[in-house]
Chains A and B, each alone.
Chain A
Amino acid sequence: MAKFKGAIVVDTEKCKGCGLCVVSCPTAVIELARGVNGKGYHYAHMANPDACIGCSSCGLVCPDTVITVYRAKAS
């Protein structure tokens, strides 16, 4: 089991749904939503939150810096 548990918060209204975070995620946590935001983009969201390790890869590659990453030691 992973030593760390992570979570991300996506500013969905600012997300442009480019999908770069989806391919950058090493544990396949992120997917683009079926729904759309106010601009009509399929925003990114945590589809598989249990697998998140809080590595910040998604935050680093996000061109619009809409992802905030949290990480805690696994209990």
Chain B
Amino acid sequence: MTATTEINNIISKENLVYKKTDVLLDNEMHYCPGCTHGVIHKVIAEVIEEMDIQDKTIGVSPVGCSVLAYNYLDIDWQQAAHGRAPALATATSRLMPDKYVFTYQGDGDLASIGCAEIMHACNRGENIVVVFVNNAIYGMTGGQMAPTTLEGQVTATSPYGRDCATTGFPMKMSEMVSLLPGTRFVTRQSAETAGAVRKLKKAIRKGFENTREKKGLSFIEIVGTCSSGWKLSPTQSNEWMKENMFPYYPLGTLKDE
């Protein structure tokens, strides 16, 4: 048997172990090559498929690169004004308590302009899931400094590196919201390896299960990469993230009640 026929024999329906979930639409993602958003979209879609909640899930997309998330996940979506996704999600979950409402926000959206909204939504303990993608930069607008940008990190608006004396320190959002009594589950994950993706999937599933049990707000931070903003290749970005982001934004679950 030649190698090609052997491969053709393996490629059959009964041997299928991993394929694109049907919750993800066939539209080609507009994200740059290697963008963590793609992985996170996929993981959310897989969790929705596994829990069979496709017709009961409402996503709230932010302003940022992931503003077009409604093109990729086959669920109901709303698009919020910049930073106001938790406010919109609050209204949605209160009006439709049987739905699974989640917001999908980047660090520019959640930690900067939407800082007030997320703090108060967490403090009220709304029954929603917050997916927070932290890549330490404003990706869509061209790589400007974000509140989560690391000290000394070079961006378009901090060409000599972030100077904490004038611009403050990188914000640790997960640590901040974990102190609020309204949050039930606060975790920080990443998505650079297969193991990390599996852990992230568990965390997102736990978030949606908390929504089902009406437990309150689940805050899932994902430390991600922005290879275009960081001016690195996707694989170099992952290495840079491990070296620089993980020491300041340590992975793990901060709160699970």
Which A residues form the contact surface with B (CB < 8 A)? 5-7, 9, 14, 16-20, 22-24, 41, 46, 49-50, 54-57, 59-72
B: number of interface residues (CB 8 Å): 38
Residue of B nearest to A58 (CB): B194
* Besides the known contacts A57-B194, A66-B20, 13 further A-B residue pairs in the complex with CB atoms under 8 A apart: A5-B6, A7-B7, A18-B33, A19-B235, A54-B10, A59-B19, A60-B198, A65-B42, A67-B18, A68-B16, A69-B19, A70-B15, A72-B9
Is the beta-carbon distance between A69 and B18 smaller than 8 angstroms?
yes
| Residue in contact with A61 in the complex, picked from B31, B33, B192, CB distance below 8 Å | B192
Task: Judge if B39 is at the interface, Cβ distance under 8 Å.
Answer: yes
Is the beta-carbon distance between A60 and B197 smaller than 8 angstroms?
yes
Task: Judge if B51 is at the interface, Cβ distance under 8 Å.
Answer: no
Shortest CB-to-CB span from B65 to chain A, Å, is 12
* Complex Cα gap A71–B197 (Å): 20
Is the beta-carbon distance between A19 and B42 smaller than 8 angstroms?
no
Task: Judge if B187 is at the interface, Cβ distance under 8 Å.
Answer: no
> Given contacts A7-B10, A60-B194, A64-B38, is CB(A19)–CB(B18) below 8 Å?
no
Pairs A-B, 4 closest by C-beta atoms: A63-B38, A18-B34, A16-B33, A18-B33
* Complex Cα gap A17–B35 (Å): 12
Residues of B6-64 whose CB lies within 8 A of A: 6-7, 9-12, 15-21, 24, 28-29, 31-39, 42
Count of A-B contacts with CB under 8 A?
103
> Given contacts A20-B34, A23-B235, A69-B18, is CB(A64)–CB(B29) below 8 Å?
yes
Which B residues form the contact surface with A (CB < 8 A)? 3, 6-7, 9-12, 15-21, 24, 28-29, 31-39, 42, 191-194, 197-198, 227, 233-235, 238
* Complex Cα gap A23–B16 (Å): 22
Which residue among B10, B12, B227, B233 has the maximum number of chain A CB atoms within 10 Å of its CB?
A: B10
Residue of A nearest to B200 (CB): A60
Is the beta-carbon distance between B9 and A63 smaller than 8 angstroms?
no
> Given contacts A5-B6, A49-B3, A64-B38, is CB(A70)–CB(B12) below 8 Å?
yes
Shortest CB-to-CB span from A23 to chain B, Å, is 5
Is the beta-carbon distance between B7 and A69 smaller than 8 angstroms?
no
* Complex Cα gap A24–B34 (Å): 12
Is the beta-carbon distance between B6 and A61 smaller than 8 angstroms?
no
* Complex Cα gap A69–B31 (Å): 23
Shortest CB-to-CB span from A14 to chain B, Å, is 6
Residue of A nearest to B37 (CB): A63
Shortest CB-to-CB span from B4 to chain A, Å, is 9
Is the beta-carbon distance between B234 and A61 smaller than 8 angstroms?
no
Is the beta-carbon distance between A63 and B36 smaller than 8 angstroms?
yes
Is the beta-carbon distance between A71 and B33 smaller than 8 angstroms?
no
Is the beta-carbon distance between B233 and A19 smaller than 8 angstroms?
yes
B36 surroundings in chain A (CB, below 8 A)? 63
Shortest CB-to-CB span from B12 to chain A, Å, is 7
